[in-house]
Every structure is written in structure tokens, then in C-alpha cells.
Chain A
Amino acid sequence: MAAARYTIRPVTSGDEAEVPVQARQRRRRHRLLVWAARAATLLIVIGGWQLFTTWKIVDPFFFGQPSGIARQLADWAEHGTEYGSIWLQVWITMKEALLGFAIGVAGGVIFGVLLGQIRFLADVLGPYIKAMNALPRIVLGSIFVVWLGLGTTSKVMLAGVLVFFVVFFNAFQGVREVDRNFVANARVLGASRLAIVRHVVLPSALTWIIASLHVAFGFAIIGAIVGEFLGAQKGLGLVIASAQNNFNPDGVFAAMLIIAILALTAEALISRLEQRLLAWRPQAPSEASLT
């Protein structure tokens, strides 16, 4: 009797047309459930935080309060920060992060492809690049501030350096992993070295490069914020630093929230770009996982 309970029931009533319909229903149900669980998680964390601080189980002086963060954001939107409007701070930080990102990606791809293609260069420069990568590059931030002043340039540089290494190592590896059959085939067909890079090496390495961009943009924002933290006249990092100095945890968290929103937006844009550029692939893995 017990065995009968485990017989596999036919999922459909035998009609093929019902298969996609049922699959779609199942998918919709799944999605609904995921979103409900996400909302519940958020509610528990934020609600718990609010309640625990209201009941003084944890001290709102150190941990801030969701309601306080909301008030802080409203206040910034209305009156601005002590360094000008909040939009200006966002714009400055974004500008630094984006410029640094662009410089770092360009440099990383160019050096990655060059060193990946030219063995001699890779052998000569390899140890130095590894050594530089091993340095805690955040420290460079203070040096850049000394060299380049309190303006945006020092932050762009820091963000660029952080991004460079992430992209460089991926581009280098991607170039090294190019299928040798592809290269041999292109050579037999009469391709010049430059044509091989353009038609074979770069597109092949693109999967690796784009994968690194997700991490790289995070680093660009870190670079910009830390740079501002170390010394700046404007920007979200400076807002955080001054909130911290005024014992205002709500301010720190509010700025963090803004940064998180910016980072998520950028992440979504990069995913878009990824889907566009890698449309030839059977299925982008990013589609299947975190979206």
C-alpha cells in the first residue's frame, strides 16, 4: 500500500498544449513566493531594528534607527547637507566612480590583452603587477590626496587603480584561455595578428571581462567613497565622515542606503550590457541566478 503513494502521477492530462501553460503557472507561483519571502525578510530586519532600538535593547545612539534614517533622508532632500544639496553629493561621487571605472576598465583590458598576447611582456611585468596587486591599495588613497589635492582627481585615480587590477587579471586570463583551434583556423584563413585580436581574442575574452565588471563597479564606488573619506570638499564619502564625527549614525546609514541604491542601479545596467554583448551564448548564467 505504501508503495502506491509514491507512484508518479502524470503531470498533465496527456495534452501537450497544457505543458507550457502549467510550466508558466508554476513559474509565476514560484516568483510570487520569492517576492513575498523577500518582502518578509525586509520587514523582519527593518521592523526588528526599529523595535529593538525603540525598546532600548540596543542603543539607538550607536545603531541608529530606521525612522531616524528616513527622517535624515527627508531632511537632506529638503535642506541639503552642510556641503550643498544631496544631489550634488551623489553626482560628485558618481562622477568619480564612473570616471575611475572607465579608466580602470580601459587600462585593464588594454594591458590584459597586451600581456596575454605577448609572452615576453607578461614574463617581464608579471611579478611587478602581482606585487602591486598584493599591496593594500586603499592606502594609495592618502598618497593620491597628497599628490592630486582634495578635488575629484585623486578619487578618480583611486577608483581607477582598484578597478584596473580586477579587470586586468580577468582580461589576461580570458586572453590566455582562447581556444587555440580558433586562432589556428584564423591564421590559416589569412588573418593578421590584429585581425586575430579583434575577431577572435577580444570576443573570446569578453565573457571574462564582463564577468569582472560586476565586481569592478563595486570597487569603483569603494574607491570614490574611501577617497572622499580621506579628504575631500564634496561627495557622499565626506557626508559619511562628517555624520560619523557628529555621532550621527542615522546619517551614516542614510548615505549608505543611497550608495546601495546607486550600486544596484549600476549592477542592473551592467547586467543589461552583459545580456546584450553576450547574446550569442545559449543562456547567460546571470539570468539563471541572481536577478
Chain B
Amino acid sequence: MSHIILTVKDLEIALDPSGVEIDHEVNFELVEGEVLGLVGESASGKTTAATSLLNFQRRGAAIAGGTITIDDRDLLSLGSSQLRQLRGGVISYVPQDPGSALNPALRIGLQLREILDVHGFGSSSAERDERIAEMMAEVVLPSTKEFLRRYPHQLSGGQQQRVALAMAFACRPKVIVLDEPTTGLDVTTQAHVLDTIRDLTRRHKAAAVYVTHDLAVVASLADRIAVMYAGRLVEIGPADELFDGASHPYTRRLLHAIPLLSGRRTLEGIPGFAPRPGHRPPGCAFAPRCAYAVEQCSAEMPPEVMVGDLHRVRCWRHDEVRAQAPVLEVDDTGGLQQGDDGALITVRNLNAWYGSRKILHDIDITLRPHHCLALVGESGSGKTTLARCIAGLHPFKIEGGIAFRGEPLARLARTRTRAIRGAIQYVFQNPYSSLNPRKTIAQILMQPLTLFFEFNTFEQTSNRDEREKRLAKVLELVSLDESLLGRYPDQLSGGERQRVAIARALAADPTVLVCDEVTSWLDVSVQASIVELLVRLQREIGLSMLFVTHNLALIRSLAYDVAVMNEGRIVEYGRTDDVLANPQADYTKKLLADTPTVESRALKA
């Protein structure tokens, strides 16, 4: 067996003065060259566990017990100067947001050098220069003087992340901790970064811990996967075994939430919340959300059981769970609405500018009644601009026609008629900025109701009743509880906020819902429940939908037609199933190849 390089034993992390547990009984080992995917929802304690591998705790948290051994050294007993020597040298860290990890005031060459200097890499300046060139080559970036003299803001997001990777690998560490390094990157860039990580870990036999909320991202990368829930490892095992024989109900639910590229399946979100530290239930923390829960579950924490050679699980009923049918099956219950004949929104020869730059070129699309059209592309492809043009939110020049039911639409929502404004509603990408933090949910939802439903001063009471009835109906549509009405947005979770945003759009009784990457800020499990909601809305109230996304796998469960956009042009337009099964445009093929899916783990070999 290969050499074990990192051992984590009974790691416990708690909040400092209060003693509230964040992580508990975390056990795992890493062998040389192995990639471990650490997967969990927000608040599962995965990042806290990962950064503790560098003996780093966020403010207010402290390691309360257990040991971390790295390279036969007890990490937790090291002094701060020894720790500094270790960090960046033997074990290194790649943060989530490269934009804020690189110092914006220093040239990247200098930042790369700094690490080598600090750790005394090599013996001469020339040797370090050589190493910098080598590092840059490894992450497929140029190492010319001009490039190294650039500042971080002169690089793209993907380049920044690759510089961060180069820094992490600079001193040939034995372990590297990657904290969601591709969140916020495009699929193509993400694929590059993942390739780089795979290549580097293999070449240098470095072990890696890859933290993510998306199983699909690590499917093609990780040798083993550890699933965390409420501060505990609930399941850990070789990747293939985990995907095919998931033995913990939570792992199965996570897998259920992942859209497949190969075929249509019903996405299922996980009901309820991931409990925050200090609010975790006794016994198995997943029991309240678990379909398999029995009485024993909420009374006693199940012990870790070995179910395979390297496969451990923490569930009382793991045998029954494991015996269930595999999760990653295509269940073509289909039934996506083809849409009626005729056209609801027609876009013809649309050109749009941002300032003096032309960003949309000759766009032609048609949205039919009861029809969902997906707009897919990377950032900068113009998909959001197109959606905003339709919603009347594009503040710059537009040429060509957008028509709603045959009537040309005014450029700005403000200048459209009230009926049209109500008929076309827009849901924003980021639920953290689309709800006014100073208004209660009730105030937010009442705004469209008062704007779009006649306020008759002579019949105030009946009118108010009418609006309240409508408010209740809208809440019911998005499955939100009325008790949320008095709250402010920051008291809601991300998924709830996005539901409120959707409810606000529905309150106007729209015909068309324009959804701009509505799931990109959410966990995969939450994304699934939002998609579930959107599919239901399409069916139940016959909504037409324009769904903007960068995730090709997602549209299969949602959209009948798809328009693939690249650099402001539509490069492919057709039925979703056809486009995904048999892409014509090179760009679509590339996009498909780069989209991480659980199916892509076959490619690993």
C-alpha cells in the first residue's frame, strides 16, 4: 500500500467560548497522490475541517480535540514559526476566490517569488527564476517577463486561479487543500483548472483535499469521496463505490439533486435545512430530513460501519439504503411541454451594445406559449444581456425587434405599458442582492400586487382582501410558509430568498418568466428544489419561461428548446434533447465536453 501522508483522527472543532461543535469525530487518511473530495452543503463544516488541515481556524473556532499528523509530524503541537514553515511548504491551500486571494497591489511574479523566498526554495536566485518558469508551465500560463509583471486584475478569473494553483504547488507540497477553487468560474475555465489540478497531483504525487458542494465537480477528479453533514463524515469511500452504492440516505439525496447530461431525470431537492452548529438535532443530524429515519435515528448517533474495503458509513439502516436501486439512473418521465403553436416573444435581428461595444449580433429566437427556452453560454456570451433586453432592463442601445404577441416592445420596462410589464417578469441571479434588505418579505411581495392590481379607493376592503388572497396564493405556489412574511431577507436562507424572488415575479401574474441563472448562487441540493419548483410552475400555471444558465446538464430537466450562445451570437438552436445528444456547433461540443457530470468519471481512467 502507498505511503500514508496525512492522518486526521477524531478531529473536533468547536466555537471558542461557547463550545458549540462545528466538526466532530472527523477521521480520514490520505495517501500519496490521492485526491479526496470533501462534499457537503453550506454549514456542513467542510471548509472548517479543510482549513484545520493547515492548523488554521477561523476567528472564534478552535480545535477541541483529536490529532492531525502530516508526514509523521503532529501538526497541532507545532509552534507558530514551525507552522509557517509547514504552510505553503509541506501543505498548501487554494482559496475559493482567486480574485481576493492574490494581492492586487503586487505583480504576480513577485507574489510567486515570495513563496519560494520564504521557504528558501533552491539555493540561488537563478534557480528560483527557473522554478517560477516551471510552475507557470505546469499551470499552462506563459512565463514571459511581461506576463509575470502583470497585476492580478490584468488576468482573467481562470488565469488568476491558475496563478493561485501555481503558488500552492510552488514548493512541491505533499498535501494541498483546495477550497471550492472553481466556484464562480465558467465551465470551460473550470475544466481547465480541474485538468491542471489532476495533472499536478499526479505528476508530483501530491495528495489533495478538494472541498465542494457539487458532487459532479469531483466525480472526474477524486479517488475517494467524503460526504459531510452537520460536522460529521457520514460516508467516505472510493468514488466509484460511492456513486454506485451510496449507503447513506444523505449521499443518495445529494446524488438525486445532480442533473445528468445523458438523459432526463426528475431532480429532487432535499427538504428542510442543513442545521447550523448549535442547532443540530441529537442522534443522527440528518434524521429530520431523512426518508429512512426510524426512532433510533433521532435518539442515537449511529457508529461508523465499514461496508467495503475503504468504505465507511454512519447510518443505522445502511444495508437497506445500499440495497436500493442505483440513484444515477435516467428516468425519462419526460413530459416537458413542447409549447403551443404561435409565438409569445419573438426576437428578430437583435443587436445590442454595451456602451460603444456591440455585444449581441443578429439574435433570432422565438418563445412559444407554455414553452421553456434555455439560453446557454459562458459569461460574456451575451445571454444575460439578451434576457435583460427582453425584460426591458438593458440600459444601452438596441437595434432590431423584440415583439410580445406580435406587438413591438419598448426598450425600457419603464416605457412599456403596465400590462406588458406585468406579463414579462424577471428573476435575478443573486437572491442576496435582488431583495431589498430593508423591507420585510410582505412589503417586497406587496409591491407588485399594489402596482398591477387596480386599487379601487371606493372598495378598499374588498381590494385588500383580494390582494391578500393573491399573496397567499403566490406563497403557496412557491411553497413558502406565511410565517416568513414578517421577516427580513437576511433572516432567510439562500433557497428561501430565491423562492421569494420567484414569488415576487409570480405576484404580477406573468405570462413569461425570465430566469437569469437563478440557481448559480445556490447549493446543488437547493438548485434541484428550485428547478423542481420551476418545472411545476410551468405545468400548473402554464408559464412560459426563458431560462438562462451556464449549466448544460440542468436544462435537460427543464427546457424543451435550447439556444447556445457564444460571443453574442447564437451558435446552435434546437430541441434540447437533440442538441445534447448530437451537438452540431463546435462550441456546443466543447461546452458539453467541459461540463462536469457524474457520468464523466469514466473519463478519469
State yes or no: do A and B come from one complex.
no
